[in-house]
Amino acid sequence: MGLLSILIFVPLLFALMILLLPKKYSQSYKYFTVAVAVIQLAITAYLYYQFKTGTAFTGVNQLDSYQFKEYLPWIRLDVGKFGALQIDYLLGVDGFSIPLLFLSALVMLIAALSSWEIKENHKGYFSLMMLLNTAIMGVFCALDIFLFYVFYELMLLPLYFLIGIWGGVRREYAAIKFFLYTLLGSVFMLLVIAGLYFSVIDPVTGNHTFDMVHMMNPQNYVPDGIFSFLAHQDILGIPARLLGFIVVFIAFAIKVPIVPFHTWLPDAHVEAPTPISIILAGILLKVGGYGIIRIAYSIFPDVALNLSFYIGLLGVVSILYGAMVALAQTDLKRLIAYSSVSHMGFVLLGLASLTSEGISGAMMQMISHGFLSVMLFFIVGVIYNRVHDRYIYNFRGLATHMPIYTGFVMVAFFASLGLPGFSAFIAEAFSLIGAFNSESINGLIPRWMAILGSFGILLGAAYLLWTLQRMFFGQLRVKEESWLIKLKDLNAREILTLVPLAFFAILLGVMPSLVFNIINSSVNQFILLFT
Amino acid sequence: MDSIINISNQMVLILAFLLICAPLISFFFSLIFKRFASLIAITAISISFIAAIILFIKVWFSKTLHFSIPWIAFNNFDIRLGFLFNDLTVLMLLLITLIALLVHIYSVEYIRKDKLKPRYFAYLSLFCFSMLSLVLADNLFLIYIFWELVGFSSYLLIGFWFTKEKAVSANKKAFIMNRLGDLGFLAGIMIMLSHFHTLDIDALFGSGNLIASSFTSNGMWVSPFNMMPDYWLTIAGLCFFAGAAAKSAQFPLHTWLPDAMEGPTAVSSLIHAATMVAAGVFLLVRIAPLFNESVLIIIASIGVFTAFMAATIALTQNDIKRVLAFSTISQLGFMMLAIGVGDEASAIFHLVTHAFFKCLLFLGAGIIIHELHHLKEKHQLQFDEQDMTFMGGLFKSMPITAIVFIIAAMALSGLPFTSGYLSKDAILISVFEWADVKGGVFWIFPIIVSLTSWLTTFYIFRVVFKVFFGDFRLPQLLEADHHQFKIHEANVWLKYPVMVLAVFCVTFVFSFQPFSLEASWLFNELAPQQHVGGIYHILVPIYINILSLGLLLITYLAYARNKFSFGLEQTWIFKFSYKQWYFNEIYDAAIVKPTLLKAKAYYWFDKNVIDGLVNSSATAIIHISSLANWFDVYIIDGLVNGVASVVERLNIWFRNVQNGKVQHYIVWMLLIMITFFIYLMIF
Amino acid sequence: MISLQHFLFIAAVLFCLGIYAVITRKNAIQVLIGIELMINASILNLVAFAKYDVINNNGQLFALFVIVLAAASVAVGLVIILNFFKRVKTIDPNKANSLRG
């Protein structure tokens, strides 16, 4: 039982405890949740601290150089002439997963702290949240693609109920839309996983295997396998590997989300209760980005290389389109949801460049967006909890009424519009630099994409500053007089929640090498896949 | 020449740290210890000022110093944190800390009654930190970071009175317009990084370094690392210029600066006149070796156009701060022009002198506004304290302010014995010489620039005479008793900073020979080889200044004595100038509104087309499934039910046969027999 | 000359009338009359066809038998009707449904 397993199953244990505890203790559930999150944060911080870098610890397609590895044979089924079915409980982390693990633990803590607003059915809510926690940690640790898929699908179930039961007015619509949309992507991915399974053998045992690390190595493919590098098989007249990549890419693109697969996001975010919005924006979107790196790009590097132009283009379109739509929003939460679309576009653009600075920038953007979107959604939650309204035009001049709150809003807004000194600036700058350098280094995406993408930063400033001006500055005026009493400034718990986020956003903005150094060797190894 | 005091390089490093950290610490401490905010901020900037003096003495006249530590490293490049000390750096440090110190002292009185005073000093400290770091930064990436941070602190300070509607839309506009320029800067950084794999200024632009070793041939721009089509060289230059143009309020990104006057006047003087807006000029001077011929011509053209345009606008404005704002834009245009004609030394020289006299002009205006504001509050009046139509004759009540203001105005017009005389004529001479070399159509530049120079004299003395001479118009306009409104001289907090600044507007600070540019210690160090005599050195100052003096007389008669008026108020030229060439209206109609419309259109598209596609595919699936349901209910299940119902029908039918009625039976018998017979007959 | 067809036609008409009466009448007496008509129609046929058996005169003989039997059956029928009437106070044959299941 390694640390990763503890990390994954502690929440499950607590979920069981919550289920077993009598209802009269229901006020204590939230403290359990916070306790779990604190434990996890401590574990991930320890892992992060212990994480070794260098050429011997690259990860990616080197199974030996993953760290904190855990291996247990899970399912061994003799299926006659197909050999033995080999599904393993295989966990491990490399430079791509370790920062995301830490981020997840932190976001879960914030989500737990913001769950104070949940008023009904504590038992169901907190146990589902613990289940979700397990699934999230599992996704980032799993190295067996089957295990990954199990965790990946396991995330959907609690989310569906969490949105559908504790959500806003149109919660059923949003929950079903979210669930079906994501499921649609992942169901087809299952077919690709099956295809991969029959194409890849474990070089040691000779069995077919679900081990993703083996799937990244062209030597492990059987010569006539459907996804073999050499066989050039076709499915419906499309090269099999191309189709496989596209299917997997779309499955994760829905999660990221990338235009035009993004429309579930505003609905889900708007309808979800604040802690769930936080988890959605802070972690779920990163699962998409992580999946693209870990599965789509790593297993199908040849196809990814050929499609770089289009992937970069999708990234640029997401950046500009998301920002433009955000500019037209009047609902604060929806505005932030669309800004997420815009910001996640940088991830794709940086990734498509396949340069070390671009990919590092993309990773940084995922982490930074994790902190900042959580902060933004929490900020919306503060107002919504107090007056149950988020319509931008209903507020004005809040700066005089809620000065501390406005201070945090300004930090969050300026951090997300890419002010230097905050992590988002470093992330966006290096994504763009990577995209720009790409033409000189590997010729994958043209320079104009980087220039065009940088306009997203400008639009980001436009919509955030407009909101700031509209809601927080000017003479104090709100829709109803009674709101003025309800709109109290932040309490200690809320300040406690926001401070670490702001702290990390600044820390990574000032010392980005905290992340860059950790991921650097993995990024370099990752780039080697494409040469 | 060796440095005057001997301190080690390590000491320099420590001093530099002290220099930038003092304001940063002050930023936090001012917010925490609110009661002592002004004290903390002034102490911090004083420390910076002393450090700047020591650094200046150490570095001036000696070689470049460069310190750096690793920060971010990638495969093919790394970005370091570091300090770069050269003449330009220490000169700017000294300038900024001196002016900032004076403005801090001035602000104590100016902002005394405001309950957000701690925040004001915190923001001011943040600005000082960013600006000093910007100057000290050793690579373009760091410059960019602090470039944006000064923009941010300017945003905070413009919107300091955040309940004022105009202030908050002005700071938004300033930030977004600066962002637009910053995109150019960022693009420039990307080009440099991609091409040279470093952003270190010393490595890139130092003598005999990377820029020097790159060249263009056969349509390609070649560096030791890379090759690009040569248009990227031009693009890189233009990108950096875009960044500089936004920060220095050059056409077409100049409209934010007049709006930025919504901030406190002390802020306007420090940030929007003396230091931050000069950062654009500073940047261009730092990277000057990058520019090729076409970029330089573009810079010169934009500079001269901006100078002229802003001067024409300044002619008609009634808001005193607005006149000064356009004057700033115009003077920055002069500096840009100087860079465009390849005379960076004059640009920097003018930057320095301009910083002093423009800061002084603003602070002077600030005193007047401050006193009028007091009057307004005391007597519960309703008028705009920045409007010059309410002023006049203030010389008598505030002589010191008037005198320093007039000194600054003279410096701005470039009259002899002022610092402006040296620096402005340096630019004019360079432009004349440049046009002489280029010939032909390039003579437009000196013509326009001379014209602008005279316009400058006109508009600034228009202000001087309207404000300080003639009669005090406020009582007349408000129809009140003249003696009721007493304007007082500024108190010590306001008075001494402006007096110090006034000293720096005099020639003798910069040169002991009032008519010789070359004798200036500052100019000499910056450009030892340039300006070695020539016909223009004698002719240009004479012809500019004689006409200026003539204009001075005209303005005196027109505005102080009211001997005549120009009577142009109703003409389109006046309106064109008064409305600031309609730039705000044009931008609003051509850029802002279409963008917002486009945003709405995109949202519509998103909601109805993309999401509509998702929803309609959901609806389509629902329809298909209800079709399947119908098929299931009526066809498949219908078949089963149909058999049953047929049997049931038959059952009912046959049951009716045996109804116990004899006659029915007979009919049946008959029918069957007939059927039988018919059957027999047919077959 | 009266041919066989004329007799057959008359007999058929009589028979049809008889059957019509049997089916439609609501009165048992009339039904009985209808039956008589039908019997007589058959008698007429027997007599008419007897022309072809001049030696044995079987047709005539049968006709006599039928007349006797008809008289007997009418007697029986009338008795039944009488008893029926006594029992249910009607002579409508359709009402005689007490045997109906």
- With CA atoms as reference, the chain A residue closest to B181 would be A458
Beta bridge partners of B85: B65
Distance from CA of C19 to the nearest CA of B (A): 9
Dihedral over alpha carbons A355, A357, A360, A362 (to 10 degrees): -80
CB–CB contact B187 A454 (8 Å): yes
Spatial separation of the C-alpha atoms in residues B614 and B604, rounded to whole Å: 14
Question: Averaged over C32-40, what is the pLDDT?
Answer: 90
- pLDDT over 90, % of chain A: 15
Q: Which residues of chain A have pLDDT under 70?
A: 80-83
Spatial separation of the C-alpha atoms in residues A96 and A117, rounded to whole Å: 33
What are the residue ranges spanned by the domains of chain A? 307-531
Spatial separation of the C-alpha atoms in residues B525 and A95, rounded to whole Å: 52
Answer positive or negative: Cα dihedral of B487, B492, B493, B496.
Answer: positive
Spatial separation of the C-alpha atoms in residues A321 and A338, rounded to whole Å: 9
Question: Averaged over B645-649, what is the pLDDT?
Answer: 90
Beta strands in B402-552, from DSSP E residues, in sequence order? none
Q: Which residue has the tokens 């979700």?
A: A132
The 3-state DSSP class for residue B79 equals strand
| Residues of chain B contacting residue C38, judged by C-beta atoms under 8 Å apart | none
DSSP A21: S
**Residue B424 has what pLDDT?**
84
Which amino acid makes up residue A259?
A: V
Is the separation of the CB atoms in B110 and A382 below 8 Å?
no
pLDDT tens-digit series, residues B165-195: 888 888 888 888 888 888 889 999 888 888 8
Q: Who among C22, C96, C97 is closest to B666 (CB)?
A: C22
**Residue B466 has what pLDDT?**
84
CB–CB contact B666 C23 (8 Å): yes
Answer positive or negative: Cα dihedral of B240, B244, B246, B250.
Answer: negative
Beta bridge partners of B139: B200
**Residue A68 has what pLDDT?**
87
- With CA atoms as reference, the chain C residue closest to B659 would be C100
For the cut 70, the answer to whether the pLDDT of residue B6 exceeds it is: no
**Residue B1 has what pLDDT?**
40
- With CA atoms as reference, the chain B residue closest to A465 would be B172
Residue contacts between A and B (CB atoms, under 8 Å): 134
Q: Who among B659, B663, B667 is closest to C93 (CB)?
A: B663
**Residue A218 has what pLDDT?**
84
The 3-state DSSP class for residue A370 equals helix
The 3-state DSSP class for residue A390 equals coil
CB–CB contact B194 A451 (8 Å): no
3-state SS record for B448-503: HHHHHHHHHHHHHHHHHHHHHCCCCHHHHHHCCCHHHCCCCCCCHHHHHHHHHHHH
**Residue A8: which residues within 8 A CB-CB, separation 6 or more?**
A91, A134, A137, A138, A141
User: CB contact, 8 Å: B626 with chain C?
Assistant: no
pLDDT tens-digit series, residues B243-282: 999 888 888 888 888 888 888 888 888 888 888 888 888 8
Spatial separation of the C-alpha atoms in residues C87 and C74, rounded to whole Å: 20
Q: Which two tokens stand for residue B69?
A: 């530590």
Q: Chain C interface residues facing chain B, Cβ-Cβ under 8 Å?
A: 19, 22-24, 31, 93-94, 96-97, 99-101
| Residues of chain C contacting residue B669, judged by C-beta atoms under 8 Å apart | none
Count of beta carbons in the 10 Å neighbourhood of residue B6: 8
For the cut 60, the answer to whether the pLDDT of residue B635 exceeds it is: yes
Three-point CA angle A511, A516, A521, nearest 5°: 155
Residue C56 lies in a domain: yes
**Residue B160 has what pLDDT?**
87
**Residue B62 has what pLDDT?**
73
Residue C100 lies in a domain: no
**Residue B5 has what pLDDT?**
59
| Residues of chain B contacting residue A181, judged by C-beta atoms under 8 Å apart | 614
CB–CB contact B658 C24 (8 Å): no
Q: Who among A437, A462, A469 is closest to B169 (CB)?
A: A469
**What b/e readout covers B112-136, taking b as 16+ CB neighbours within 10 angstroms?**
eeeebbbbbbbbbbbbbbbbbbbbb
**Residue C79 has what pLDDT?**
92
- Ordered alpha helix ranges (H), C1-101: 4-24, 28-49, 58-88
Helix (H) or strand (E) holding A71: strand A67-78
3-state SS record for A490-509: CCHHHHHHHHHHHHHHHHHH
pLDDT tens-digit series, residues B439-462: 788 888 888 888 888 888 888 888
Residue from B74, B127, B593 whose CB has the most chain A CBs within 10 Å, to mutate: B74
**Residue B576 has what pLDDT?**
81
- With CA atoms as reference, the chain B residue closest to A355 would be B75
Q: Who among A419, A447, A462 is closest to B152 (CB)?
A: A419
Count of beta carbons in the 10 Å neighbourhood of residue B11: 14
The 3-state DSSP class for residue A144 equals strand
For the cut 60, the answer to whether the pLDDT of residue B532 exceeds it is: no
The 3-state DSSP class for residue B71 equals strand
Is the separation of the CB atoms in A162 and A129 below 8 Å?
yes
For the cut 90, the answer to whether the pLDDT of residue B679 exceeds it is: yes
pLDDT tens-digit series, residues B103-134: 888 888 888 888 888 888 888 889 899 998 99
Q: Exposed, middle or buried by CB within 10 Å (0-12, 13-18, 19+), for A298? A: buried
Q: Who among A325, A399, A440 is closest to B603 (CB)?
A: A325
Distance from CA of B536 to the nearest CA of A (A): 44
Residue from C24, C94, C95 whose CB has the most chain B CBs within 10 Å, to mutate: C94
Distance from CA of B220 to the nearest CA of A (A): 13
- Of A497, A420, C48, the residue nearest B148 (C-alpha): A420
Residue from B654, B661, B673 whose CB has the most chain C CBs within 10 Å, to mutate: B661
Q: Which residue has the tokens 């640790």?
A: A141
| Distance, first Cα to last Cα, chain B | 142
Distance from CA of B663 to the nearest CA of C (A): 5
Distance from CA of B59 to the nearest CA of A (A): 29
pLDDT tens-digit series, residues B573-607: 788 878 888 888 888 888 888 888 888 888 888 88
Q: Which CATH number do you get for residue C29?
A: 1.10.287.3510
**Residue B528: which residues within 8 A CB-CB, separation 6 or more?**
none
> Looking at this predicted complex, what is its ipTM?
0.90
Q: Which two tokens stand for residue A222?
A: 């059987």
Spatial separation of the C-alpha atoms in residues B526 and B339, rounded to whole Å: 13
Q: What are φ and ψ of residue A238, in 5° steps?
A: -105, 140
Write down the pTM of the prediction.
0.85
Count of beta carbons in the 10 Å neighbourhood of residue A42: 11
Spatial separation of the C-alpha atoms in residues B671 and B345, rounded to whole Å: 129
Q: Which two tokens stand for residue B512?
A: 């002991």
pLDDT tens-digit series, residues A313-335: 999 999 999 998 888 888 888 88
Q: Which two tokens stand for residue A327?
A: 């500019």
Residue contacts between B and C (CB atoms, under 8 Å): 24
| Omega before A260 within 30 of 0, i.e. cis | yes
Distance from CA of B658 to the nearest CA of C (A): 8
pLDDT tens-digit series, residues A88-124: 888 888 888 899 999 999 999 988 888 887 888 888 8
Total number of domains in chain C = 1
Count of beta carbons in the 10 Å neighbourhood of residue A205: 12
- Of B394, B195, B204, B390, the residue nearest B289 (C-alpha): B204
For the cut 90, the answer to whether the pLDDT of residue B676 exceeds it is: yes
Q: What are φ and ψ of residue C2, in 5° steps?
A: -90, 120
DSSP A117: G
**Residue B347: which residues within 8 A CB-CB, separation 6 or more?**
B281, B284, B285, B335, B336, B338, B339, B427
CB–CB contact B663 C101 (8 Å): no
Three-point CA angle A336, A467, A362, nearest 5°: 40
**Residue C99 has what pLDDT?**
62
Residue from B194, B231, B593 whose CB has the most chain A CBs within 10 Å, to mutate: B194
CB–CB contact B666 C96 (8 Å): no
Mean pLDDT of chain B: 84
Residue C15 lies in a domain: yes
CB–CB contact B144 A433 (8 Å): no
**Residue B3 has what pLDDT?**
47
CB–CB contact C101 B660 (8 Å): yes
Q: Which band of pLDDT confidence, cut at 50, 70 and 90, is reported for residue B2?
A: very low
**Residue B480 has what pLDDT?**
67
Residue C67 lies in a domain: yes
Beta strand pairing call for B78-85 and B65-73:
antiparallel
CB–CB contact A420 B146 (8 Å): yes
| Residues of chain B contacting residue A524, judged by C-beta atoms under 8 Å apart | 75
Beta bridge partners of A76: A86
pLDDT tens-digit series, residues A143-184: 888 889 999 988 888 988 888 888 888 888 888 888 888 888
Distance from CA of C50 to the nearest CA of B (A): 25
Structural domain including C71 reads 4-95
Q: Which two tokens stand for residue B430?
A: 């360079």
| Residues of chain A contacting residue B169, judged by C-beta atoms under 8 Å apart | 469
For the cut 50, the answer to whether the pLDDT of residue B227 exceeds it is: yes
Spatial separation of the C-alpha atoms in residues A392 and A67, rounded to whole Å: 47
pLDDT tens-digit series, residues C46-64: 888 888 888 888 888 889 9
Spatial separation of the C-alpha atoms in residues A432 and A364, rounded to whole Å: 12
**Higher pLDDT, residue B93 or B225:** B93
Question: Averaged over B513-522, what is the pLDDT?
Answer: 69
| Residues of chain C contacting residue B661, judged by C-beta atoms under 8 Å apart | 93-94, 97
Beta bridge partners of B200: B139
**Residue A132 has what pLDDT?**
92
Do C and B make contact via 3 or more CB pairs under 8 A? The reply is yes
Question: Averaged over B523-549, what is the pLDDT?
Answer: 72
Q: Which residue has the tokens 């701690």?
A: B118
Do A and B make contact via 3 or more CB pairs under 8 A? The reply is yes
Is the separation of the CB atoms in A91 and A141 below 8 Å?
yes
